[in-house]
Each structure stands twice: as structure tokens, then as C-alpha cells.
Amino acid sequence: MFLIIHKYLAKQFLKSFFGVLLFIILLIYAAETIEFLRRIGSHKTVSFWNILYISFLKLPQTVQILLPFIFLFAGMLTFSNLTKYKELMVMRAAGMSAFRIILPAAILSFFLGFIYVLFLNPVFTEMSQKYKTYKDSLSDKKKDILDISGSGVWIRDGGNDDQSYFIYVSSMDEAARQFEDVTFYRYKDARYIDRIDAKIAILNRGDWLIQNPKIIPIDSKPYELDVLHLVSTIQFESISDYLVEPEMLSFWQLSEYIDQLKKHHFKSDRYEIYYHSLLSKPFLFLGMILFAGIFSFQRSRLGQKTSMLIGGITCGLGLFFFNNIMLVLGLNESVPLFIAAWGSTYFILALSFFILSKIEE
């Protein structure tokens, strides 16, 4: 009998989940479309179909932020409907515990969390990358680029008005503010003019200080200097800001990227926290379902519909902000990275199990 009931509960949860998800997606898509119409609708090269397309590409960024709320609302809607039609009361009278009633939705939320992390996150990441590329194409502003590869780091520096450089760096010494085993590929008016090899290059405010450089022009013999200054448009203090954003990397890319950052002595805190936050998502979604069950069971006992729904939403918001605060503390190195990424999830799960146990008593 319990197996039949569990199948019914799972079906009800999936209906609620996909209903809430569809509603949120349509709401966000409409809002993004209106916003882009306001911001770039007058752009000569942008058609209405372009706006619909860019709004679609931006959807994952917002949906991923709201996923915990979607699970919370889906759980509350499921258990609210069970209460509305007296089904929850019948199940409880038949001897089913709160944990057993919540179990199908909890298992499904955990499973959906893994599907999101392993399969949907890479798709969402690719859409976000396309959105960023399309957005940048609408702007005439060129930004400095820093990219990590297996053998080293590539930097594009805007230089001055007529010169720019592509710079290969083997490693970085953050304490000394210097880069080691450096090669500059210098361009003038978009034409390659020479290569500069050096053991050490120091990035000061507004310029590169290159020690004992060997300059290899394209149309003359190589020569060496004691020191060479080149104009720079980047600052050492914000060098890590030019790295790709963690959200632009999929779950499968993050681990390798973190290894490359550590290898070349770049800070990897943001990427490690984001990686662990993705790993914790199935458990976070599970915690949201448990919280939804808590407020629904309390409502069924006390008969306070509006106050319990408001309480559930308020607690969901509180947990969301608590999770963000933990992430910020981790980035500021106030708490260990593992605690920053997993602390709020463990707190939600522990609190949920504790309250549900009290409800059972």
C-alpha cells in the first residue's frame, strides 16, 4: 500500500515542481525581454528576434539562483494540496510518519539536483557564455583578457593607443608582484612587430618593468637591453578579476581549471567555493523539501494557512541570505572554504531533521 502512496506522492510533487518551474521561467523571460527592449531596443542592429534570443540565453543565470526557491515552493504546493483535500490527514491517520510522507519528494529533489549538476549545469553554462559573447558584441568597449592554459597564462594588454601585447607567462609570484619566464608578442596598429623574451617582468601601476629583455624584431637582428618599460592598462591587484568568472565554467571544467590556477599561483578561492556549492546543490534542494514539509505539517496541525505560507517563504529567504553570507565569509577567508560552501546546507538539513523529529513526537 505504501508503495502505491509513494508513487502518488512522487507524481504530485513532479506536477507541482514542473508547474512552478514553468511559471518562474515564463515570468523571468517576460521580465528580461521587457528589460532588454528598454535597454537595447533602439539599437539599429538589434531586432526583436535578437532580443528574444538574448533574453533566452540569459534565463539560466537567474533560474539557477532561484532553484532552491523553486524546490521550496514546489514542496509547499504539493503538501498544501494534500492538506487541502484531506489526503495528508488520511495518511497520518493510516500511520504514515512525516518522514515517510516527505520521502518521495525528498528523493526526487535529490535526484533532480544531481541531474542539474551533472547534465543541466554544462548546458546552462554554455548558454551563459553565448549570452556574454553576444552582449560584448553589442559594446565597442574592449576588455583585457587573461586565460589559463596547461602550459601557462596568456594575457592581452591594451597597452597604449597604437600598441598592444599578447603576453605568455609561465608562473606568477604574487608577493613580489612579478611574472616569471615571460614572452611579449607586441603589435602596432594590429600588425605584429616583435617578440620580447625575459626571465622576469614586474607589473607596476601603469607599466611593465621588464628586466634583461631579449627583443626579436620581425625585420631585424635580435638585441638585448638591461631594462624595458612598456605601458600597461591592467593592475596587478586586480589581475585575478580578468580571469573567467566561475559561473562561466561548467561543473566538469571547474576541477581542471582550479588545478591550473594553483599550478600558476593564482588564487582559486572563488572557483573552489563555486565548485563545492554545486556539489552541495542536491543536498540543498533536499533541505528545501524538508523545510516545505515542516511548514505544511505545522499548518495541517494548527490550521493557520496564511501565516504558515508566509513563514515558509520568509524562512526560505532567510536561508538563502544565510547561504550567501557564508559564501562571502569564505571568499574573505573568514571561514574555511569547505564550511563556506557546505555550512548552510548542513545547517538546513540538521535543523529540518530536528524539527520534523519534534513534530513526530
Q: Which tens digits make up the pLDDT trace of 205-229?
A: 888 999 999 999 988 899 999 999 9
CA distance 47 to 43: 8
Of 104, 90, 89, 87, the closest CA to residue 17 belongs to 104
CA distance 159 to 342: 42
Give whole-number Cα distances, 183 to 79, 169, 171, 177, 195, in Å. Answer: 63, 7, 12, 17, 7
pTM of the model: 0.86
Tally of CB atoms within 10 A around 194: 16
319 versus 226: which is more confidently predicted?
A: 226
pLDDT of residue 310: 74
pLDDT of residue 4: 86
pLDDT at 152 over 70: yes
φ, ψ of residue 226 to 5 degrees: the values are -75, -40
139 confidence band (pLDDT: 50, 70, 90): low
pLDDT of residue 260: 87
* Average pLDDT of the residues in 146-168: 81
- The answer to whether the beta carbons of residues 359 and 298 sit under 8 Å apart is yes
Of 292, 280, 268, 269, the closest CA to residue 343 belongs to 280
Q: Any idea what DSSP says for residue 221? A: -
Q: Which of 42-51, 125-134, 245-254 has the lowest mean pLDDT?
A: 42-51
pLDDT of residue 158: 77
Question: How much of the chain is helix, strand and coil, in % rounded to 5?
Answer: 65, 15, 20
CA distance 214 to 198: 6
Taken as a whole, the chain contains a residue count of 361
CA distance 125 to 293: 32
